[in-house]
């Protein structure tokens, strides 16, 4: 089964005029702004979420710079509150939630199931414009006075502060519908548009992951929608539901918020799992270990994630018995998650591992996610959480999952499918340097935060006692290294579009349908309608000659 | 290159007053297109139920917290108007179902009549709702003119809740019932209006002969939406008007 065919260098064939593909099949602003092509919509998402990520990253660097000195270096306390809120809200709502499904999911998922497009292309375009409207409103909220509530908008502070909470609430409501429509579209696509022969258990695991994510997007996001709507009503005409002065209950807000926002964590992380599942197999040149288990564990995580929201509220005064249940169920999530982690490691084991940049990002993910996942179990333990609640330990755990795992998986997927999307290759050497900088910088930023968190440093404070200064300074230096790595990555990826060094027709030797399609794919994805006859990840079927050709 | 000009599948029109339907390019068969639309819309309806689910959760929570407030508050509503509105909506659901059936059987004028009756049902519902809101306004239970004036920290008074006759004076947080009542019925009312607009949209398509036995998906979907709006009211009516 395992094919260890060494990569063969063959002569590059003479250059031919570029064939028609989705990038050059039509020109002009309208051909992009009104496109119904899932690949173009995916690229527009990619540009959008990347800008949001860079903005959010800039806010993060400002936060870290401010914390260089115990009394704070840059901002007043109020300004600091706004900056960290902006960082959180931009990263969560504008980047992490839409990033992978919106960009890579849109481009790759229909290719993987062998469809010509997503099931509802107009709704897909609407999703993107809703995202854009949400982003514009979020920027408008900054102009209208900003918001200083943290990304969680906890009542009653979010009801009383004089900042632009209604505007950002509206932005989140609209972004929520963008996310719902993307999820809805993907569910219908997976159910109805699979190519002949593409059975459920021949679907690549990225599709399974996107499918599980879509279920969560559809079922959890409406509750966030009604929650921010109620906060807006509360601020506009004092209905009193969350306001304790009027008989309301702020803890009810927390229940509503986390009923969405815990599943939302899996909306963010499941697509990342999907990318890693693809990449460990392709770059180890081995069928995935435990394909069905990984597929089912995505669904299991999606189901269990609806039952654990109370673990964010162990100090809120909810019932003790509820806390037992929430803590127990939280441990339960660790089982399907560990199944994935071990299956990935077992896939790499004795594989023919190609240490190219997508694989380096993948290996970095495997290390970082192991730490991020295990510290989650620590926080899920009731008595430990009472000590660690709202400390930097939580911040570090959260970032090990959100930034270290999800953003790194996003980068891995971006490097993996970049030649597919654009038909060009980036500079591999620079990519490896950037990956190393990001890995070192990331751990440098957040490992010290575990230590200072366990020693009692509370999150979200603008100042701190001098004893914590070494940890904060180490963390700030790490953040600068991380920032340098990301800047290098942005540089060589953009440069690759201008250098136009042609990618191979099948750059990494993938066997899923996204690599069967021409590079870059034509407007309708495939020259002939694909029929699937092989099991998924069957590398014995790979045609190495066609793989080595330069794409046109 | 436009999106729709590749080997398109066309469903012929059943008569001269209809137009043929071109299946979207990324579907291989009309059945696939129909099922994709149906599945997508059912998922959308699920999100609507979850959106209202949050409001129902809030209702039950505060009903449990302040049972007296909800008992006395419910008595202030006129159950006869509520029952009348329930009948209007149920009747309009029937006309909607008949409209969908007429579209499926290519009966254009019948479809138009039933859809018009459904829109009239929506208008009737909103008129009755307006009469109810007006009465609440006169009793100071929901003062619409002061809805956005907020909360006076000095007196502890809400601008929109004045309770001129003191009917809620003896129960804790008397405004709570009306806050929930207003939020739930206003969001439901918004759905009635959106539903009416959607029906008018498919009436336009019907007039142009777009919907017939070969293709009636939009009428079908708007019908589903209308039944959901009806169904949510079926729950709102007893909870707000009848439950002691």
Instruction: Read off the pTM.
Output: 0.93
Query: With an 8 Å Cβ cutoff, is A227 touching chain B?
Result: yes
CB-CB under 8 Å, A237 with B148: yes
Distance CA A296, CA A310 (A): 24
The whole-angstrom separation of Cα A291 and Cα A205 is 8
pLDDT at site B238: 96
Q: What pLDDT digit, counting tens, does each position of A50-71 carry?
A: 999 999 999 999 999 999 999 9
| pLDDT for res B2 | 43
What chain B residue is nearest to A215 in terms of C-alpha separation?
B43
Whole-number pLDDT of residue A348? 95
Which of A121, A223, A237 is the closest to B26 by Cβ?
Answer: A121
Which of chain B's residues have a Cβ under 8 Å away from the Cβ of A123? 40
Contact yes or no for B36 and A37 at CB 8 A: no
Is B57's Cβ below 8 Å from some Cβ in A? yes
Contact B177, A241 (CB under 8 A): no
Residue B6 pLDDT more than 60?
Answer: no
The pLDDT of residue A549? 80
Say whether residue A149 is in contact with chain B using an 8 A CB cutoff.
Answer: no
Which of A192, A217, A229 best tests the B interface by mutation, with the highest count of B CBs <10 A?
Answer: A192
Q: Residue A8: what pLDDT?
A: 44
Asked if the model's pLDDT at residue A269 lies above 50, the reply is yes
Mean pLDDT value of segment A422-447: 97
A281 and A1 in contact (C-beta within 8 Å)? no
Which 3 state secondary structure label does DSSP give A424?
strand
Contact list, A36 vs chain B (CB under 8 Å): 3
User: Nearest-CA residue of chain B relative to A110?
Assistant: B26
| Residue B132 in contact with partner chain A when CB distance is under 8 A | no
A451-472 pLDDT per residue, tens: 999 999 999 999 999 999 999 9
pLDDT at A207 over 60: yes
With b for 16 or more beta-carbon neighbours within 10 A and e for fewer, the A170-202 pattern comes to bbbbbbbbbbbbbbbbbbbbbbbbbbeebeeeb
**A-B interface: how many C-beta pairs under 8 angstroms?**
124
Q: Any CB–CB contact under 8 A between A121 and chain B? A: yes
Virtual torsion, Cα A317, A322, A324, A327, nearest 10 deg: -90
Q: By the CB < 8 Å criterion, does B50 face chain A?
A: yes
The reply to whether residue B50 touches residue A222, judged by beta carbons under 8 angstroms, is yes
Interface test with A, best of B9, B30, B40 (most A CBs within 10 A): B40
A115 touches chain B (CB under 8 A): yes
pLDDT at B64 over 90: yes
Contact A138, A131 (CB under 8 A): no
Does pLDDT of A443 surpass 60? yes
Subunit contact B53:A223, Cβ cutoff 8 A: yes
Name every chain B residue with its beta carbon within 8 A of the beta carbon of A236. 147-148
Is there a contact between A188 and B158 if contact means CB atoms under 8 Å apart?
A: no
Using the beta-carbon criterion (under 8 Å), do B54 and A226 form an inter-chain contact?
yes
Q: Is the complex ipTM more than 0.90?
A: yes
Mean pLDDT of B165-187: 94
* pLDDT surpasses 70 at B11: yes
Annotate B176-199 with b (16+ C-beta within 10 A) or e (fewer): bbbbbbbbbbebbbebbeebbebb
Instruction: Tell whether B60 is within 8 A of chain A (Cβ).
Output: no
Burial zone of A13 (CB within 10 Å; 0-12 exposed, 13-18 middle, 19+ buried): exposed
State pLDDT tens for residues B107-140.
999 999 999 999 999 999 999 999 999 999 999 9
Q: Which residue's structure tokens are 């330069």? A: A550
B29 at the A interface (CB within 8 A)? no
Residue A252 at interface with chain B, using a CB cutoff of 8 Å: yes
Interface residue B123 vs chain A (CB under 8 A): no
Cβ atoms of residues B146 and B233 within 8 Å: no
- pLDDT over threshold 50, residue A520: yes
Chain A residue whose CA is closest to B54: A223
Give the torsion through C-alpha atoms of A86, A92, A93, A98, to 10 deg: 140
Residue of B nearest to A522 (CA): B1
Question: Residue A3's pLDDT is what?
Answer: 44
User: Cβ of A252 and B61 within 8 Å?
Assistant: yes
Pick the closest to residue A58 from A46, A70, A66 (CA basis).
Answer: A66
Across the interface, whether the CB atoms of A221 and B24 are under 8 A apart is answered no
Statement: residue B229 has pLDDT above 60: yes
| Contact indicator for B151, B159 with CB cutoff of 8 Å | yes
**Distance between CA atoms of residues A226 and A224, nearest Å:** 6
B156 touches chain A (CB under 8 A): yes
Q: What CA–CA distance (Å, rounded) separates B159 from B150?
A: 6
User: What pLDDT, on a 0 to 100 scale, did the predictor assign at position A15?
Assistant: 53
Interface test with A, best of B7, B54, B173 (most A CBs within 10 A): B54
Q: Do A249 and B61 touch (CB under 8 A)?
A: yes
B183 CB near a chain A CB, below 8 Å?
yes
* Alpha helix segments (H runs only) across A455-528: 469-499, 513-516
Given CB atoms, is A123 within the 8 Å cutoff of chain B?
A: yes
With CB atoms and an 8 Å threshold, state whether B47 touches A223.
no
Q: In A, which residues are within 8 Å of B67 by CB distance?
A: none
User: For position B152, what pLDDT does the model report?
Assistant: 82
Taking CB atoms and an 8 Å limit, are A238 and B151 in contact across chains? yes
b (16+ CB within 10 A) / e for A330-365: bebbbebbebbbebbeebbeebebeebbbbbbbbbb
pLDDT one-digit tens code per residue, A367-387: 999 999 999 999 999 999 999
Distant-in-sequence, close-in-space partners of B7: CB < 8 Å, separation ≥ 6: B25
- Using the beta-carbon criterion (under 8 Å), do A222 and B40 form an inter-chain contact? no
Sign of CA dihedral B175, B178, B184, B187: negative
How high is the pLDDT of residue A17? 58
Q: Looking at the partner chain, which of A184, A245, A249 has a beta carbon nearest the beta carbon of B43? A: A184
Q: Which residue has the higher pLDDT, B40 or B153?
A: B40
Interface contact flag, A193 B26, Cβ < 8 Å? yes
Contact A97, A89 (CB under 8 A): no
Interface of A with B in 178-197 (CB under 8 A): 180, 184-185, 187-188, 191-193
The backbone region for A76, taken as left when phi is positive above 0, alpha when psi lies in -120 to 50, beta otherwise, is beta
CB contact under 8 A, B158 and A238: yes
Q: Answer whether A241 sits within 8 Å of B151, measured CB to CB.
A: no
Tell me: cis bond preceding A75? Omega within 30 of 0 counts.
no
Chain A residue with Cα closest to B177: A239
pLDDT reported for residue B8: 80
- Residue A20 tokens read as 């028609």
Tell me if chain B has a CB within 8 Å of the CB of A532: no
Residue A412: predicted pLDDT? 98
Span of A5-9, A152-156, A161-165, A432-436 with lowest mean pLDDT: A5-9
pLDDT tens for residues A4-46?
444 444 444 445 556 789 999 999 999 999 999 999 999 999 9
Mutation target vs A (from B44, B58, B155; most A CBs, 10 A cutoff)? B58
Strand B157-158 relative to strand B10-11, pairing: unpaired
Q: Report pLDDT for A12.
A: 47
Of A10-24, A77-91, B138-152, B208-222, the one with minimum mean pLDDT is A10-24
Residue contact B32–A123, C-beta within 8 A: no
* pLDDT of B53 strictly over 50: yes
Q: Is A117 on the interface with B (CB under 8 A)?
A: yes
């Amino acid at each position: 089964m395992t094919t260890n065919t060494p990569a063969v260098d063959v002569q590059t064939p003479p250059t031919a005029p570029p064939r028609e593909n989705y990038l050059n099949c039509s020109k002009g602003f309208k051909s992009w702004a009104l496109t119904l092509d899932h690949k173009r919509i995916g690229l527009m998402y990619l540009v959008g979420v990347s800008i949001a990520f860079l903005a959010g990253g800039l806010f993060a660097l400002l936060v870290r710079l401010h914390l260089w000195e115990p009394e704070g270096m840059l901002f007043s306390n109020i300004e600091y509150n706004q900056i960290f809120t902006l960082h959180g809200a931009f990263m969560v709502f504008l980047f992490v939630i839409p990033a992978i499904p919106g960009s890579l999911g849109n481009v790759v998922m229909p290719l993987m199931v062998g469809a010509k497009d997503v099931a509802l292309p107009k709704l897909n375009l609407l999703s993107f414009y809703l995202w854009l409207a949400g982003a514009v409103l979020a920027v408008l909220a900054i102009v209208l006075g900003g918001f200083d509530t943290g990304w969680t908008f906890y009542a009653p502070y979010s009801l009383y502060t004089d900042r632009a909470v209604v505007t950002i609430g509206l932005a989140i409501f609209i972004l929520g519908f963008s996310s719902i429509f993307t999820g809805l579209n993907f569910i219908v696509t997976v159910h109805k548009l699979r190519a002949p022969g593409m059975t459920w258990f021949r679907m690549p695991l990225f599709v399974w992951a996107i499918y599980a994510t879509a279920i969560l997007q559809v079922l959890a996001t409406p509750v966030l929608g009604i929650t921010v709507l109620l906060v807006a009503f509360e601020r506009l005409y004092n209905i009193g539901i969350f306001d304790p002065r009027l008989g309301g209950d702020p803890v009810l807000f927390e229940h509503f918020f986390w009923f969405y926002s815990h599943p939302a964590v899996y909306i963010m992380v499941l697509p990342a799992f999907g990318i890693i599942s693809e990449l460990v197999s392709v770059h180890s040149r081995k069928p995935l270990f435990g394909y069905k288990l990984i597929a089912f564990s995505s669904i299991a995580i999606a189901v269990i994630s609806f039952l654990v929201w109370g673990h964010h509220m162990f100090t809120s005064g909810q019932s003790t018995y509820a806390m037992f249940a929430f803590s127990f169920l939280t441990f339960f999530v660790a089982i399907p998650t560990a199944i994935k982690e071990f299956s990935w490691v077992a896939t790499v084991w004795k594989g023919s591992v190609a240490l190219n940049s997508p694989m380096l990002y993948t290996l970095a993910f495997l290390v970082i996610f192991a730490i991020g996942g295990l510290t989650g179990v620590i926080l899920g333990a009731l008595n430990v959480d009472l000590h660690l609640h709202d400390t930097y330990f939580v911040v570090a755990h959260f970032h090990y999952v959100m930034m270290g795992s999800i953003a790194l998986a996003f980068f891995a997927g971006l490097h993996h499918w970049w030649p597919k999307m654009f038909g060009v290759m980036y500079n591999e050497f620079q990519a490896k340097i950037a990956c190393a900088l990001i890995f070192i910088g990331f751990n440098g930023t957040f490992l010290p935060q575990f230590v200072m968190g366990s020693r009692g440093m509370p999150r979200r404070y603008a100042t701190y006692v001098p004893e914590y200064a070494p940890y904060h300074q180490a963390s700030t230096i790490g953040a600068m290294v991380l920032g340098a790595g990301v800047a290098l990555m942005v540089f060589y990826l953009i440069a690759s579009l201008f250098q136009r060094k042609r990618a191979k027709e099948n750059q990494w030797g993938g066997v899923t349908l996204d690599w069967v399609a021409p590079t870059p794919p034509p407007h309708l994805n495939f020259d002939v309608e694909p029929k699937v006859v092989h099991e998924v990840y069957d590398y014995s079927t790979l045609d190495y000659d066609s793989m080595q050709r330069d794409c046109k | 290159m436009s999106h729709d000009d590749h080997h398109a599948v066309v469903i012929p029109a059943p008569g001269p007053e209809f137009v043929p339907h071109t299946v979207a390019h990324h579907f291989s068969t009309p059945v696939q297109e129909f099922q994709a639309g149906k599945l997508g819309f059912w998922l959308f309806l699920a999100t609507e139920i979850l959106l209202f689910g949050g409001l129902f959760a809030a209702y039950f929570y505060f009903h449990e917290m302040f049972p007296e407030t909800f008992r006395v508050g419910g008595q202030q509503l006129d159950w006869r108007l509520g029952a009348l509105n329930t009948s209007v909506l149920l009747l309009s659901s029937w006309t909607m179902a008949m409209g969908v059936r007429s579209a499926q059987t290519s009966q254009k004028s019948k479809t138009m009549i039933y859809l018009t009756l459904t829109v009239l049902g929506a208008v009737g519902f909103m008129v009755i709702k307006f009469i109810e809101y007006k009465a609440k306004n006169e009793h100071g239970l929901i003062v619409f003119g002061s809805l956005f004036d907020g909360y006076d920290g000095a007196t502890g008074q809400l601008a929109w809740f004045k309770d001129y006759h003191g009917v809620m004076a003896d129960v804790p947080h008397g405004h709570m019932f009306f806050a929930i009542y207003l939020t739930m019925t206003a969001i439901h009312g918004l759905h009635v209006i959106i539903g009416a607009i959607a029906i008018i949209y498919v009436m336009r398509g019907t007039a142009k002969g777009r919907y017939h036995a070969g293709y009636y998906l939009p009428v079908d979907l708007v019908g589903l939406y209308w039944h959901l709006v009806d169904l949510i009211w079926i729950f709102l009516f007893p909870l707000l008007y009848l439950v002691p």
